[in-house]
A and B are shown apart, each in its own frame.
Chain A
Amino acid sequence: MQILNRLRRQLHPSSPSQIRFDETFYRRLDRLTLQAERTLRGRPGGEHPSTRALPSAEFTQHRPYATGDDPRYVDWAVYARSDEHFIRLGETAQEVRVHLLVDHSASMAWGRPRTKLDSACQVAAMLGHIALATGDVLRVAPLAQQLGAGFGPATGKARSHALLQYLGGLQPVRGTALAAPLGDYVATQQAKGGLLIVLSDLWTLDVGELDALLARLRPPRWQVIVFHLLDPAELSPPALGETELEDLETGQRVALRLEPATITAYRSELQSWFNDLSRTCTRHGATIVRLDTTWTLDTVVIPFLVARRVLQS
């Protein structure tokens, strides 16, 4: 059956992949939440702890009453003792705006047995479902040369099926740079902030552009997690001898002798690129998570993300 599926995918590479989770997996996702920073600002009512002191029945501190405050949160006992009006403040859970930005450029349509786009959509579907289930406000935006039509804002598990259908319909498109659409998206959401998750192979996002972008996405308004998806063949390409490599995005070609020494040099360059990306993300308080597209969600990806404190159970 796998062979047939592969064959069908090869014959119809543009057909949308169906994303389906079984009941057991859904139950497991329902026990997970996105580990959002407390500094994020959202409306009360969610499941994410917040560092903001809000009028609450659970007391942590007082502040002077201001016009417009709800009289229900006036600490009448303090008023009796001091004849001053104070509002009772306390920590309360909040909802978070979750932004899932999925790179669907042509380079993402590469990889076997499944493409990086397939893996990105599966991870996005998983994270989106977790966000919807925990009452977060979810937005999904496809990233390519231009910002495509997105999904959301949505909240509640009832939208989970629509999310899966949306992600399953994403098609790879040719694009040369992600910085512009990312910047456009951030500009529209700059006032609201939230947890911004980028799923991409980052081939079309220069380190400098990433640095500039992350500079606009600083905490506490933003929490950024970058999922860096790579196929094993990108990590360890085979030594094919005389080869003409063709860029899927630009169509440009470069002739090389893919021999062991070349592969070693490539891996060195790759590691250097990884380091640059990590340093850039760390410098701006962003989290970068490298995912192998061959990893399975339930046995590898979820435990890995829990360990990386992206998810918590």
Chain B
Amino acid sequence: MNFLFPLGLLGLLALPVIVLLHLHRERPRRRPVPSILLWRRLASVQQHPEPRHLPLTLLLLLHLLVAALLALALARPAFPGIGSDRARHTIVLLDTSTSMGATDVAPTRFEAALRRLAQYYDALGANDALTLIRLSPAAEVVSRTGGGSSNSVDLGQLDLEPAGSSLDLRGGLNLANGLLDPRRANRIVILSDTIWLPETLEPAAQPVGAPITWEPLGGPAANQAIVAFASRPRPAGGIDLIARVVNFDAAPVERTLRLLEAGRDNTATPVLGDHPLDLPANGEIVRHWVLPEASNGGPDLVQVELSGGDAQPLDDRAALSLVEHESLPVRFVGPEAEALARVLEALPGLSVESDVAPEDAALTVYHGELPETFPGGPVLLLNPPPEAPALRPAATDVSPLAPPGDPLVRDLDLSSVTFEGPGTPMPEWAEPVLVDGERPSRVLIWRGTSDATRIVALNFDLARSNLPAKLAFPLLMARIVAELTPAGIPSAVALGEPLEFPWNVDDFRVLDPSGSPLPVEERGNSRVVRPQAPGIHTVELGGRTITRFAAHAGAPLESDLRPSQREQLPAIAQVPLVEQRTGSPFRELVPWLVVAALIVLVLEQIYERRRLERSL
């Protein structure tokens, strides 16, 4: 048996109090009389009254029983496994999207969800198990517990925050399906506020093989949000700032949008402007400012705030770094391919530099030659030489089959392109992207990863091909660069969304708005962080701040706290849905205890009345 509110057992302290009250009540009653003249004579002959002892009366026992029952009821005793002999496996799908930070449920929907989650943990029996799956931004298993003492989980250590602009419900259900335990009675519990993105509303891979209980948290609530806050350089100098404020309410509302210069320590001052907003019902307002660049005395960091309060405070402010990011350097090895260099220079965020150090290059282009070992960063091979030891061909001569419509060449018109050059056999760790239609054994474009180096090879001589003259060339190169080099660090990202940094270094860290380093996930040659709090994040490399970016909580779908697509859940899960708003994972004994206490109280009243009648 568990006690859901163990502090309620303090109510048992009422028992000694009741005993004391009965002792007090049973002491000789004082009764005034005109004179004790005659009584005194009787007292002298009457045996001295017995010393006071605990009066074990039926009334006392009834009072103690009522107090004990109510104290037990206050502690909320519950049996986790009543009615089921089988061990249970509970899979909790926890909505960790930003909308769970709404405060229409005190203190927040997410805190309420964590409390429910803690109850599920507390309700685990010795043979029960619980799997926790986080749904945002992508479904992933956070913790699995099962059996005995391992049931206790410190939720504070699980790094759970309401941060994410998408909800991978379908992935969560698929994960849950795969985690079903045939030895236990499985059930799936969804703790969500049902603000779901449309793209998640796809059926699960197969019908979920366990009953689903959905516990909604919070209800429709009005909210106003800054759903976009962006900047762009003006051609004539200066920076355009644009903020988009949306009213997710059926009634118009007046609020004030304040633009502030944000300090590096995330303090906002001074005020750059106040703008009253008459937000129409279900409408939006876009505000625009022009600021000088940071290099011309403008602010490095700016912040906008919405005055007043609403159901979601996270999206009432947004920050932005106005410092331009440096371009990623591209290093050429071998004779420079003029057409390729021209295309790379034209791509935003890239700059072709001849004197860049190998370790600093964001992309290395090897033209007609190959090193002994790859440098570690992304590599583009142009017409690689045959017999290169780094490109050991496959052991067996298998005709490669390029998948139709590879993302690199999808929808590109290459029908009139001539590919000349010796060509090299594709290494065994590579996969074909484009195969010569006339000679299927010749791979024209391939990709692969060798010693953690991502490589794309154009296995033909670009100078002898007419590809640079085709429209498809810049598109193809843009796709290759996008695949090899992660996008540049954006000035702002959505809260909870993973952000990839193309640095395979150890002394890299990202500080959140409070100055705490974010957990860094290694992903190949990149590092991935996931902002958990809105505000300015600082990127440090080698102990030096190299840039800042903002994490925004406002998003059109997450900030709209009104829609509820719960009716679509059965279609997603393909099983009936059980909605449980106030249920408990326990079989609570409170109702029975309260009923028992009431019965005892009635008996006590009957007894007391009869006692009074007898005394009269």
Contacts and interface: CB of A to CB of B under 8 A. Distances in A.
B469 interface: no
A204 B41 contact: no
Nearest to B29: A243
Contacts of B39: 245, 254, 256, 266
A65 interface: no
A8 interface: no
B31 A203 contact: no
Interface string B31-49: 1111111111111011001
A212 interface: no
B41 to A, nearest CB: 6
B49 A242 contact: yes
Q: Which bracket fits the contact residues of A?
A: 20 to 34
A95 interface: no
Contacts of B43: 254-256
A269 interface: yes
A58 interface: no
Nearest to A247: B36
Contacts of A108: 34
A242 B28 CA distance: 5
Nearest to B47: A257
Interface string A251-273: 01111110000100110011001
Contacts of A252: 36
B27 interface: yes
Contacts of A240: 29, 31
A116 B33 CA distance: 12
A242 B29 contact: yes
Nearest to B49: A255
B162 to A, nearest CB: 63
Contact of A262 (B32, B35, B42): B42
B410 interface: no
Q: Which of A231, A269, A270 has the most CB of B within 10 A?
A: A269
Interface residues of B, number: 21
A256 B34 CA distance: 16
State the majority secondary structure of interface residues on B.
mixed
B51 to A, nearest CB: 12
B586 to A, nearest CB: 48
B36 A245 contact: yes
Nearest to B30: A244
B41 A110 contact: no
B46 A253 contact: no
Interface string A209-253: 000000000000000000000010010010011111111111011
A187 to B, nearest CB: 26
Contacts of A255: 28, 43, 49
Interface in A106-142: 107-108, 110, 116
Contact of B28 (A116, A234, A243): A243
Given A244-B28, A255-B49, A262-B46, A269 B35 contact: no
A308 to B, nearest CB: 24
A230 B42 CA distance: 20
A201 interface: yes
B36 A254 contact: yes
B28 A204 contact: no
A242 B27 contact: yes
Nearest to A204: B35
Interface in B18-74: 26-43, 45-46, 49
Contacts of B30: 243-246, 253
Contacts of B29: 240-244
Nearest to B27: A242
A270 B32 contact: no
Interface in A159-203: 201, 203
B28 A269 contact: no
A183 B184 CA distance: 101
Contact of A203 (B26, B28, B35, B40): B35
A133 to B, nearest CB: 33
A269 B42 contact: yes
B32 to A, nearest CB: 5
A43 to B, nearest CB: 39
Nearest to A116: B34
A250 B45 CA distance: 22
Contacts of A237: 33
Interface in A3-29: none
The 7 A-B residue pairs with the shortest CB-CB distance, nearest first, are: A203-B35, A107-B34, A244-B28, A242-B28, A247-B36, A269-B38, A244-B30
10 contacts: A201-B35, A234-B33, A242-B27, A244-B30, A244-B31, A245-B31, A245-B39, A246-B32, A248-B35, A266-B38
Given A255-B28, A256-B39, 12 more contacts: A204-B35, A237-B33, A242-B27, A245-B31, A245-B39, A246-B32, A247-B34, A248-B34, A252-B36, A253-B36, A262-B42, A266-B39
